[in-house]
Structure 1
Amino acid sequence: MRPIMRKTPSDVSPVMLAALRRVLGSLVRILLGYGIRYPVLLELLKSEFVRAADLDFSLGHRAQSDSRISLLTGVHRKDVRRLRAQPPGEDEAPASVSLGGSIVAKWLATRQCVDSRGRPAPLPRLRRQGGERSFEALVESVSKDMRSRVVLDEWLRLGVARIDDADRVCLNVSAFVPKKGLDEKAHYFGRNAADHLSAIAANLAGPEPRFVERSVHYTRLSAAAVGKLAQLAERDGMKALHSINRRAAELKAASGRTQGPLHRMNFGIYFYSEPEAEPPSTGRTRRA
């Protein structure tokens, strides 16, 4: 059970408030960009406040009351009752993501499907062209219910793969990050941003960091320097992703023979840059 710590704005650390304002600023830009206005966000916030209080701040085996959740969250008891009565929202990945992600992971974890540097090698499109080392065989190894042509058509639509002049399927190095398809992009946005924030929350809550969460931050760089660093981050970051993916595939195969609860994990990389704001002028303006 977590203790209830009700704070007024004056009780909260100014540094924490500044950090939250910065995070919310990025989120609000996404909302406005997709036409999601404040009333929609407010309803989502109410729902998540109630859900988190109900699940993460319970009193052991005692049932949660609407009054306690209202006291903990500041959400009106009438809204608490309404929101608790609603069925949970859908959280399933689009079919193209759940199946596609498994196929990409298998492609990158299979040594005969990557080159000497661990990058995805082009695969003959059909089994009759490449045997077991073909895109058709790869898809069938992951799902017997989905034809490889259907998967390929969707990947071509999303920009995840392309067909070369030798009729081979070429996986984009950055897969699985669709260039098109809002549902697919939104799924990865929700999963990765939520997991990143969850890792931060766990590290903030404990005396020792539970999860890896590191970054390198520089200012006063030229645009050319940032471009070179972005290429370096892409190259070395993909090496790390491929390494973790291969090892995870090996360990997952071994986990099927062990007892005990199963877990999920998420490992990712990111790179961001923007022009620096001009420092405010300290000189006084003289009148003519």
Structure 2
Amino acid sequence: MTLTDTYTLNNGVKIPQVGFGTWQSKDGDEAYNAVKVALEAGYRHIDTAAVYGNEVSVGQAIADSGIPRDELFITTKLWGVGTTEDAAKALDDSLQKLGLDYVDLYLIHWPNPKAFRPDFESRNAAVWKAMEAALEAGKTRAIGVSNFHRHHLDKLLKTAKVVPAVNQIMVNPSDQQREIVSYNVKHNILTEAYSPLGTGRIFEIEELKALAEKYNKTVAQVVLRWSLHKGYLPLPKSVTPERIIENTQLFDFKLSVEDIAFIDGLHGKAGLASNPDEVDF
């Protein structure tokens, strides 16, 4: 296994099995340098979003890398718009900021933005039409969702012509979201794990420190390896060059069956993800 080994999405598109996340990377030098280092370290899968506000810097780092476009996998996401027309424009805006003709994956970022409650079903159906049209037009190679729970997906699938290829959710040892993962598997939807290190919270779990010592690895490396074992696609984020590189060093060890089961038992140890139907945005 390597950073460039792939999963196959439900439409046949290949996606590198580890991606580099850019959530909370500030636009400008911080995001630019992080992506630059990540690409130099071997990442070929970069994940950003319109609401992150860093698409320009991410796109510049991609351009300056000199890596051929067809060797990269770039994801961005649709934020809080509610119509088919606005969703189409949002993708065009993201492409312009990224300096790209197409992205490889485009996601509905949030299933139930506050502005569209309680009628998220109609909103998601409307924006999904734009995403299906973008897929057909070649502006993206795959489409999917993020932060969707079972009831959001059930309603989307009532009208969708294309089944989402990905559901990007917060997944880490402290928040395993097993019901959603099971739903994804049943519908051949890949689980992408954002915040696979629990936005740093997993480092508070003392049991993981001992486990990392056993393998002569960092806690982050152990947890990312667990994520791969579970069949998830982790999206580790860092702006520290040493940690960006460290998070690529996942392929020279394997966790035992017993240690995987032990990590499975850490659910809830360091907090859980927010409920998308209750957040204030």
Give the TM-score category using the shorter length. Answer: under 0.3
Task: Give the structure with the larger helix fraction.
Answer: 1
The structure having more radius of gyration, on CA atoms, is: 1
The structure with the largest strand share of the pair is 2
